[in-house]
């Protein structure tokens, strides 16, 4: 460095070390990038709007963009019937309001509707009362701006707003997935000045792509994906605007969105039905009830796996009465059966009569004293299971009761299967000596308890 100073001194060049400039650069950066409210209002914002009305409803797409490239995209679903022109006006009004909400004072509004643009610019006259009301509101909003320009553009140049207006069919082609979904509850012509936006809780799901292909013929740009969609959509049909899965020998099940799938499964599993089925049976039950979605089997298995009443041994029992049998010693002719849903362990006891007191005594002696207080009891709504005495007894022990209808005993399927097995074994052992069924019952129960169950792969004895 000293050598360079000596060599350059003959040319009158003076060397000075470079000072620190970090703080100054930061100050320059802040001055350059800071945008005041006045600067924000004086820049011109671009607004692109598009509205559409179809057989499935009305919607709108809005894009608000600043000169710096900041872009806000909105896909709006109208919760009221609207014509195509009304949807265009609604989109126009909402676009201006959204721009005003970010502080814009200068706008260039673009729409592909020649009628709306011409009426706003005063080239066409609005004769209908409803259009006059829309036009009045548009002019009132435009009066809040310092400068504006309303321009009609070809549909091809309004593609961004068009895609948002038809979000379901064009979802795969939208690069920015950070889109705000809105529902809009009231028309602008209802005389109210209050505008309310609320987020839509139901996001686009697997079925929207199929619906839009079946209704509008829209396909993905990718040829492979388009072919897959055509093959998949052939298995579905649309009835009254709803998607149904085709079937050959059964009614068409209705296709559900994720927002409703979990509710249906939980209602069948632990709601008013309260039968707490296993995963495979739960999916089959949902399908027979008239519902379908692609992952219903996996969802049902996952729900059954994490259900507290189903995942704990001796927490849920299914109870039923069998008989009358041929009278045995002491006029015994009934059999009460209780099956644990988790281990498949079975408890049974012969009875001469089937009163509430007998059921309570059986539960106390064979269930509570041996396995602890259960969480749930599933039975039919016979008086011996649903009377006031047993309800008070269960309430005192915090035991929940679920009842199945007499016409639908399959809801307590676990107990029904066990009853058939016990009856079959008794008939095999007894032959013609039917009055001795009580003596053979312990052997039948032991055989059942030590036989592996297909649902668990283990015998109840090993799991108990």
Domain with 133 in it: what CATH number?
3.30.420.10
Looking at the 3D structure of the chain, how many domains does it have?
Answer: 4
The pLDDT score that the predictor gives to residue 23 is 59
Residue 413 forms part of a structural domain:
yes
Residue 88 forms part of a structural domain:
yes
Residue 393 forms part of a structural domain:
yes
The pLDDT score that the predictor gives to residue 15 is 60
Residues 52 and 194 reside in one and the same domain:
yes
Which among 305, 324, 344 is the end of a domain?
305
- Structural domain of 263: 256-305
Residue 69 forms part of a structural domain:
yes
Residues 268 and 171 reside in one and the same domain:
no
Residue 12 forms part of a structural domain:
no
Among 320, 322, 317, which residue's Cα sits nearest to residue 438? 322
More confident residue, 422 or 64: 64
Kindly report, residue by residue over 307-363, the tens digit of the pLDDT.
Answer: 554 457 788 888 888 777 777 777 888 888 888 887 888 888 888 888 888 889 999
Residue 211 C-alpha from the chain's centroid? 17
Flag whether pLDDT at 25 surpasses 80: no
Residues 191 and 60 reside in one and the same domain:
yes
pLDDT band at 109 (very low <50, low <70, confident <90, very high): very high
Residues 53 and 167 reside in one and the same domain:
yes
Kindly report, residue by residue over 145-196, the tens digit of the pLDDT.
Answer: 888 899 988 888 888 888 887 763 344 344 444 555 566 666 666 544 444 4
Residue 263 forms part of a structural domain:
yes
Kindly report, residue by residue over 239-250, the tens digit of the pLDDT.
Answer: 877 888 887 666
More confident residue, 95 or 40: 95
Which among 265, 282, 305 is the end of a domain?
305
């Amino acid at each position: 460095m000293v050598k360079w100073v000596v060599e350059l001194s003959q040319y009158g060049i003076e060397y000075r070390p470079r000072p620190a400039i970090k703080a100054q650069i930061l100050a320059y950066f802040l001055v350059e990038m800071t945008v005041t409210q006045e600067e924000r209002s004086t820049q011109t914002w671009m607004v692109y709007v598009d509205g559409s009305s179809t057989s499935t409803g009305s919607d709108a797409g809005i894009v608000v963009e600043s000169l710096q490239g900041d872009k806000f995209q909105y896909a709006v679903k109208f919760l009221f019937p609207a014509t195509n022109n009304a949807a265009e006006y609604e989109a126009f009004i909402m676009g201006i309001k959204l721009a005003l909400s970010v502080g814009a004072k200068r706008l260039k509004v673009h729409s592909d509707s020649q009628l709306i643009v011409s009426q706003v610019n005063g080239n066409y006259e609005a004769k209908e009362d409803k259009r006059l009301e829309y036009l009045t509101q548009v002019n009132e909003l435009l009066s809040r701006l310092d400068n504006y320009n309303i321009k009609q553009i070809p549909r091809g140049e309004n593609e961004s707003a068009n895609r948002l207006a038809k979000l379901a069919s064009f979802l795969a082609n939208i690069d920015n997935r950070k889109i705000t979904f809105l529902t809009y509850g009231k028309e602008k012509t209802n005389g109210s000045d209050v505008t309310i936006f609320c987020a839509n809780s139901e996001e686009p799901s697997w079925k929207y792509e199929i619906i839009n292909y079946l209704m509008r013929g829209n396909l993905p740009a990718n040829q492979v994906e388009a072919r897959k969609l055509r093959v998949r959509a052939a298995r579905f049909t649309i009835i009254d605007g709803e998607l149904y899965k085709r079937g050959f020998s059964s009614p068409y099940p209705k296709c559900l969105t994720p927002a409703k799938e979990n509710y249906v499964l939980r209602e069948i599993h632990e709601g008013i039905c309260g039968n707490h089925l296993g995963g495979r049976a739960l999916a089959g039950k949902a399908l027979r009830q008239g519902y379908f979605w692609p992952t219903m089997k996996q969802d049902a298995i996952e729900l059954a796996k994490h259900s507290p009443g189903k995942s704990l041994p001796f927490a849920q029992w299914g109870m039923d009465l069998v008989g009358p049998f041929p009278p045995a010693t002491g006029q015994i002719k009934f059999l009460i059966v209780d099956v644990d849903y988790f281990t498949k362990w079975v408890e049974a006891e012969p009875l001469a009569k089937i009163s509430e007191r007998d059921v309570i005594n059986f539960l106390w002696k064979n269930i509570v004293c041996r396995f602890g207080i259960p969480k749930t009891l599933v039975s039919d709504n016979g008086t011996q299971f649903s009377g006031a005495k047993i309800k008070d007894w269960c309430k005192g022990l915090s035991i929940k009761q679920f009842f199945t209808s007499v016409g639908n005993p399959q809801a307590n399927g676990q107990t029904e299967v066990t009853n058939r097995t016990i009856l079959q074994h008794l008939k095999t052992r007894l032959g013609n000596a039917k009055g001795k069924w009580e003596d053979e019952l312990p052997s039948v129960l032991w055989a059942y308890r030590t036989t592996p169950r297909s649902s668990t792969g283990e015998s109840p004895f090993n799991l108990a």
